[in-house]
Each structure stands twice: as structure tokens, then as C-alpha cells.
Structure 1
Amino acid sequence: MIRHAKQSDLPNILEIYNDAILNTTAVYTYKPQTLASRETWFENKLNKQEPVLVYDERGEAIAFATYGTFRDWPAYQYSIEHSIYVNKHHRGKGIASQLLAEIIQTARNNGYRTLVAGIDATNDYSIYLHKKI
């Protein structure tokens, strides 16, 4: 089930994100985040009214998706950059596809017309996911 993230989801979101930092090319930083930094990130998302959606399986957030400002120039006011991360033990189940569909619909509902995904050339999962739409 897809739902809006809660504060209590942040430890799982942190675990998923840090795994992406350490073991993939999906995130262009090399230093794992702290729970405090994820709490600040989440608060900023809420303040900017940028969604953080989670895929909930039996009460546990096993994936998340979000979007934010693409570029802070007036011509990009209808453009956002989105991100999707899935727990490594739950990949290949169609969860990312469901989150992508939901984040696209959420963006449309909020008046956005262009979604951008920054994908590393070696991130085969993300390339495949985005080619399907």
C-alpha cells in the first residue's frame, strides 16, 4: 500500500537511502546520512509541501518516493525532479513502478507538467523502470 510518510518511517527511509549511497550509483554523495539529517530533510519536505510517499508492507516502509524543485528558475516552475528508492530485499516486485505511477499522479494533481529523473548510466534498474513509462 502506498501512503504518505510519517516521522516513524524515517529509520527505514534512512536505511534504504544509506544503502543506496554505499552500494549503488543512485546517490552522488559518499557519506551515509544520520537520522537527524533525515529528520531535517523530512521537515523541509513537509514545509515545502513536497510529498514523501512510502510503500508500506505490514506496517513497514520498504520503499519511498519524493520530488522537489528541479531548478530554481521561473521557467522551471512546472518542473520537478523525482527520486525512488526501494529496500534491496524488495526489488523486482513492481514496487518502484507503483511508486512512480503515484508520484506522477501526485505531481499532475499539484500542477506540474515535467518530471525529471537524474539517472546514472550504470543504474540499470532505474533506466529500465523509466523506459517502461
Structure 2
Amino acid sequence: MKIRAAHPADAGDIAALWNAMIRDTDATFTTQEKTIKGISAMIAERQGAFWVVEAGGVNGFVTYGPFRNGPGYAATVEHTIILGQQAQGRGAGRGLMRQAIAGARAQGHHVMVAAISGANPGAVAFHGKLGFTTVGQMPQVGRKGGKWLDLILMQKIISGP
């Protein structure tokens, strides 16, 4: 497996991974699928903040962006990580997260946030193993497929004061 910076040419593979999660799971509350054009633009906007893992093709990615608007939140980022079946259980997720944390730290960010669906306990466990701590749970703030879903907020301080 190889971790590298995402390129616009990866947008189709990234869209396939992201849209499968949107369509087939409650791991995200959105129902609006990503477009190749939109992902290409995101890759261009997020230079140094978007990576893929290759193992016979793109099998996962991580990216981060602003947590909230406004200058007071400038040092805090929220990330998205998605792995295809072929990459799961092989260290790809840990490798992608190490890369994202190092990249965010190098860009001067202080905190990384994970906003995780309560329907995705595996993601909570994964982030816990990486040193993220649960800082809040918001019951029934999401709705998808006729179900109310909880949002679990986890964070990791990634740089010194």
C-alpha cells in the first residue's frame, strides 16, 4: 500500500468510495452524492490536505478542511476518512490518519475533529485507538432513511500551545 497526495485524476475513484458510503450506510447523514467535478475542485482547494491510499487502485482517502467559519476556529480542522473493503484491516486507515495529522500540524493547526455517526461504532473505536477523545454526543441531530441518528464528536489536540 502506498499513501500519496490526491490528484484530480483520482476524483472518480474517490467519488465511487464516497458515494457508496452515502448510498449504502448511515455513516454519513447526507444523501447528496459527490460529483467528480466537485471532488476535483476540493482536491485543488485542499493542497497538502488530501491523500489517497493505493493498493491496486485508490482504495481509500483522507482529507480535512475548516471545522467552522470564522477566525476563531482557524486552528481547528475536521476530517473525513473513507476506506474501501480492500484497504480495511491492513493499516491503511492508520497510515492515512498519521499523514493527515502530520499535514495539519505542519500547516499550523492545533485540533483535529471527527464528527461520527452513532451508527458507526467502528469509527469511534478506530479514532479512540488513534488518541481521539469523545467530547460530546448530540442525540438525534441527523436523519437518514427514516431514522434519527446521533452525532458523536471526537477530537485530538495535534500541536503544542
TM-score, with length taken from structure 1: 0.87
Deviations 1:28-85 (A, max 9, x none): 211322323323333333xxx4511001124x21100000001112221110001101
Q: How does 1:10-89 map to 2 (within 5 A)?
A: 10-45=11-46, 49=47, 51-58=49-56, 60-89=57-86
Tell me the percent identity.
29
More strand by share: 2
Q: Which has the larger radius of gyration?
A: 2
Residue 89 of structure 1 deviates from its aligned partner by: 3.5
Supply the distance in 2 between the matched residues of 1:41 and 1:75 (Cα, whole angstroms): 23
State the partner residue of 2:111: 114
Supply the distance in 2 between the matched residues of 1:67 and 1:50 (Cα, whole angstroms): 10
Deviations 1:6-26 (A, max 9, x none): 121111101000011012223
Whether the 8 Å CA contact 1:67–1:80 is kept in 2: the answer is yes
Greater relative contact order structure (CA < 8 Å, 6+ sep): 1
1:116 partner amino acid: V
Whether the 8 Å CA contact 2:18–2:82 is kept in 1: the answer is yes
Runs (4+) of structure 1 exceeding 4 A deviation are none
Supply the distance in 2 between the matched residues of 1:73 and 1:95 (Cα, whole angstroms): 33
Give the secondary structure class of the aligned counterpart of 1:65.
strand
Supply the distance in 1 between the matched residues of 2:64 and 2:87 (Cα, whole angstroms): 21
Supply the distance in 2 between the matched residues of 1:76 and 1:37 (Cα, whole angstroms): 24
Give the secondary structure class of the aligned counterpart of 2:81.
strand
Q: How many residue pairs get matched?
A: 129
Whether the 8 Å CA contact 2:29–2:117 is kept in 1: the answer is no
- RMSD between aligned residues: 1.6
More helix by share: 1
Whether the 8 Å CA contact 1:50–1:66 is kept in 2: the answer is no
Supply the distance in 2 between the matched residues of 1:14 and 1:30 (Cα, whole angstroms): 14
Supply the distance in 2 between the matched residues of 1:129 and 1:28 (Cα, whole angstroms): 19
State the partner residue of 1:125: 122
Supply the distance in 1 between the matched residues of 2:35 and 2:103 (Cα, whole angstroms): 28
